[in-house]
Amino acid sequence: MLEDAQTRELLGFLTLVTRLDVKSQATEYVLGLTGSADGRSFLARNADFLQALLTLTRDPSRAVVKDCYCALVNLSADESAHRPLVSQADLLPSLLKNLCDPEYDFSDQVCSILSNLSRRTDTCREVFRAIQSEGVGLAKIVEVFCTDGYNKKGALHYLGPLLSNLTQLPEARQFILDKDRCVVQRLLPYTQYEGSGVRRGGVVGTLRNCCFDYAYHEWLLGSEVDILPFLLLPLAGPEELSEDEMEGLPVDLQYLPEDKQREEDPDIRRMLLEAINLLMATKGGRKAVRDRNAYVILRELHKWEPEPDVAAACEKLIEVLISDEPEAGMENLLEVEIPEDVERKLTQQDEEERRRLEEQLLKSRGGGQRAQGESPEGRES
């Protein structure tokens, strides 16, 4: 790594007044450092470099600005750099200001950095606090996300994972679930957004996180929001159903076209199942899901599902649907405390079930290896 004299010399080149050819070589070198763990660790320990990169995002040279943003994206993908970036470089106010500028050229990189920085709960709180205190507000973030073509120079897809990360926090969920704001209703159509799995997965993750707050389940499942069809439709395929089964489904899931495709990303399918599972934590939620005939969609999904862990999640969901109601006092599954010995046993059973499903899948494919799905919230690098 760099000696002290070399460090000082390199820092001297990372200024707005440095000659362009020298500055370009310096930013290119720093970008190269972010490609290794040692390089990222070095930069994270030297806040002057982080501040210099942030300063040069205002440089007249587009190439220099691009190098700086790429370096910041790579650094933000490394959790060890989160605290220095947020606290020492104080980059959040600048990022949020640029994000809200519809003419800004590097808004996609800004979205990626904010998404990465909001993964961990501690820095997620810092991001949320900055959003609320820098004259932006979560309402503006939602508006930017939901406004098609807000920035003609960037797609802003990574605002989806940002929203998903922010809803780790109860205060962010309260905003999304505010019954007077209609935020949830604006997000629901994006569960079928074809233009980006990142945006789609971010919204599904946001909805899944909001479903942890069971006090809102009745509202979410009721006519004001009617969330269930938006969670089931991506899981539905082109299979033919009987007339009786069809009539029991929500209207949006009836008579689907022969070329209807299921959600292609297994991680998104898993999150959709998790959201439905959370909605079924209460007796009223289970009744609502049963009454909408969700079973037939989940049954066909389970027959089709190629990924063992997603198939297992689907199977557990079906078991809850077809099982008898819990005894009195145990109706809310999110409030039931499981003894440690029972939890260990259930974990062991889950692992055995996972292995069984994998063996079945390998046999059905003639021993082939299953493909690994990429997370919709995968980090930038």
Provide the residue-wise pLDDT of the chain in tens; the chain has 381 residues.
666 788 889 999 999 999 999 999 999 999 999 999 999 999 999 999 999 999 999 999 999 999 999 999 999 999 999 999 999 999 999 999 999 999 999 999 999 999 999 999 999 999 999 999 988 999 999 999 999 999 999 999 999 999 999 999 999 999 999 999 999 999 999 999 999 999 999 999 999 999 999 999 999 999 999 999 999 999 999 999 999 999 999 999 999 999 999 999 999 999 999 999 999 999 999 999 999 999 999 999 999 999 999 999 999 999 999 887 654 444 454 444 545 664 565 456 555 555 555 555 555 444 433 333 333 333 333
Which residue pairs, CB below 8 angstroms and at least 24 apart, start in 269-272? Answer: 269/234, 269/235, 269/301, 269/305, 269/307, 269/310, 270/307, 270/309, 270/310, 270/313, 271/201, 271/204, 271/205, 271/208, 272/191, 272/204, 272/208, 272/231, 272/232, 272/234, 272/235
- The number of distinct structural domains making up the chain is 3
Q: Looking at residue 326, what is its pLDDT?
A: 56
Asked if the structure places residue 71 within a domain, the reply is yes
| Three-state SS at 328 | coil
Q: Same structural domain for residues 117 and 76? A: no
Q: How far apart are the first and last CA of the chain?
A: 21
Q: Same structural domain for residues 127 and 170? A: yes
Angle made by CA atoms 147, 207, 135, in degrees to the nearest 5: 50
| Cβ contacts of 353 within 8 Å, gap of 6 or more | 312, 315
Q: Looking at residue 231, what is its pLDDT?
A: 98
| Domain end residue (candidates: 69, 89, 109) | 89
Asked if the structure places residue 308 within a domain, the reply is yes
Q: Same structural domain for residues 95 and 84? A: no
Asked if the structure places residue 82 within a domain, the reply is yes
| Domain end residue (candidates: 89, 118, 145) | 89
Work out the number of other CB atoms within 10 angstroms of the CB of residue 4.
7
Q: Same structural domain for residues 174 and 104? A: yes
- pTM for the complete prediction? 0.85
Give me the domain span that covers residue 180.
91-210
Asked if the structure places residue 131 within a domain, the reply is yes
| Domain end residue (candidates: 47, 67, 89) | 89
The C-alpha atoms of residue 289 and residue 231 are separated, in whole angstroms, by: 11
Question: Helix 62-76 and helix 20-33: axis angle, to 10°?
Answer: 20
Asked if the structure places residue 374 within a domain, the reply is no
